[in-house]
Amino acid sequence: MLVEENFEIKKLTSFKIGGKIAKMIFPETVDEFVQSLKEYPQAFVAGNLSNTLVSSDGFDGVVISTLGLNEIIIEGGKITAGAGVKGPKLAQTVAQKGLSGLEFMIGFPGSVGGEVYMNAGANGQCVADVLKSAKVYCPEQGLLTLTDLGFGYRTSICQKKNYVVLEAEFELTPREGVKEKMDENLAFRKSHQPSLALPNCGSIFKNPEENSAGRLLDECGVKGLEVGGVKVWENHANFIVNHNDGTSTDVINLMREMRKRVKEKFDIELKPEIRFLGVEL
């Protein structure tokens, strides 16, 4: 099991922001992962770090990465994937078998564990539609298999109970046109969201109930707003891009300004969709 001290995490984050991590652990099996969690119960669990803002000053603690849990097993329509499997890889793998249900993952930079954790979704599909069960680690009881994940909009019981997703089992259906649907989803994403050539963390704020964070922010005139080396993307107001070696402080200050404008104009308190490590909003 690989363990690195003073690990430079910036290169792993999709925001390309972050300082040194005191101890970074990379388990390669579920057993190793559970062992690490038992040894460091307060550790931060990181997936592909596609929706996490890490402090530019670093984190004086332990981070356990799911990237080594990357096995995919296909048995008919039953798909078992490790938490570290990247969404696009899983979507492409099952598409080659003509299996439908994960087309929405093709444009996601995240990994399976994070996508189950937050019930990720796009283009009319989400994890809850096709997930059969998940193997999770519960600090109080150890390793569990949950069939009732308590899914809601961008949430699951894992967030509420501090469970760590280690493996997910999906039930998919054979269908024609899976690749075409993925191509359509990818084209839509490219036209509506910045590519990772402009480092970003995906949608910054959750959509309020029966509303759109992007629309609210747009009406507040935040597109193009800059703080330090980061700015609100000109094509969609709910994305922040790191265009000039920005810092976590730049992102936090920009998020605060975005949220303040929406609160003042609409009396709506936007909630962040991204996670934070070593920094607070």
Query: Could you tell me if 134 and 44 lie in one domain?
Result: no
Q: Which CATH number goes with the domain that contains 157? A: 3.30.465.10
Q: Which CATH number goes with the domain that contains 257? A: 3.90.78.10
Residue 189 is predicted with a pLDDT of: 83
Count structural domains, the chain.
3
Q: Which of 65, 96, 113 is the last residue of a domain?
A: 65
Q: Which H or E run contains 112?
A: helix 112-117
Catalytic residues: 154, 203, 273
Task: Provide block-wise average pLDDT over 10 residues at a time, the chain (281 residues).
Answer: 96 96 97 95 93 97 97 97 96 96 89 91 86 92 86 86 93 95 89 87 93 97 98 97 98 98 98 96 94
Q: Which CATH number goes with the domain that contains 36? A: 3.30.43.10
Residue 136 is predicted with a pLDDT of: 94
Residue 191 is predicted with a pLDDT of: 82
In a domain, 24, yes or no: yes
Query: Could you tell me if 22 and 112 lie in one domain?
Result: no
In a domain, 190, yes or no: no
Query: Could you tell me if 149 and 60 lie in one domain?
Result: no
Residue 164 is predicted with a pLDDT of: 93
Alpha-carbon distances, residue 243 vs 172, 191, 226, 239 (angstroms): 39, 19, 10, 12
SS3 137: strand
Domain coverage including residue 12:
2-65
Query: Could you tell me if 38 and 76 lie in one domain?
Result: no
Query: Could you tell me if 179 and 228 lie in one domain?
Result: no
In a domain, 158, yes or no: yes
Q: Taken in order 79, 80, 83, 89, is the CA torsion positive or negative?
A: negative
Q: What is the pTM of this model?
A: 0.90
Q: Which of 167, 185, 203 is the last residue of a domain?
A: 185
Query: Could you tell me if 118 and 203 lie in one domain?
Result: no
Query: Could you tell me if 253 and 202 lie in one domain?
Result: yes
Query: Could you tell me if 176 and 120 lie in one domain?
Result: yes
Residue 91 is predicted with a pLDDT of: 95
Query: Could you tell me if 13 and 105 lie in one domain?
Result: no
Q: Spell out the residues 6+ positions from residue 215 whose beta carbon is closer than 8 angstroms to its own.
A: 237
Q: CA-to-CA distance for 109 and 107, rounded, in angstroms?
A: 6
SS3 213: helix
- Beta strand 20-26 with 59-65: parallel, antiparallel or unpaired? parallel
Q: Which of 126, 153, 185 is the last residue of a domain?
A: 185
Query: Could you tell me if 202 and 180 lie in one domain?
Result: no
Query: Could you tell me if 230 and 168 lie in one domain?
Result: no
In a domain, 44, yes or no: yes
Residue 259 is predicted with a pLDDT of: 98
Residue 122 is predicted with a pLDDT of: 81
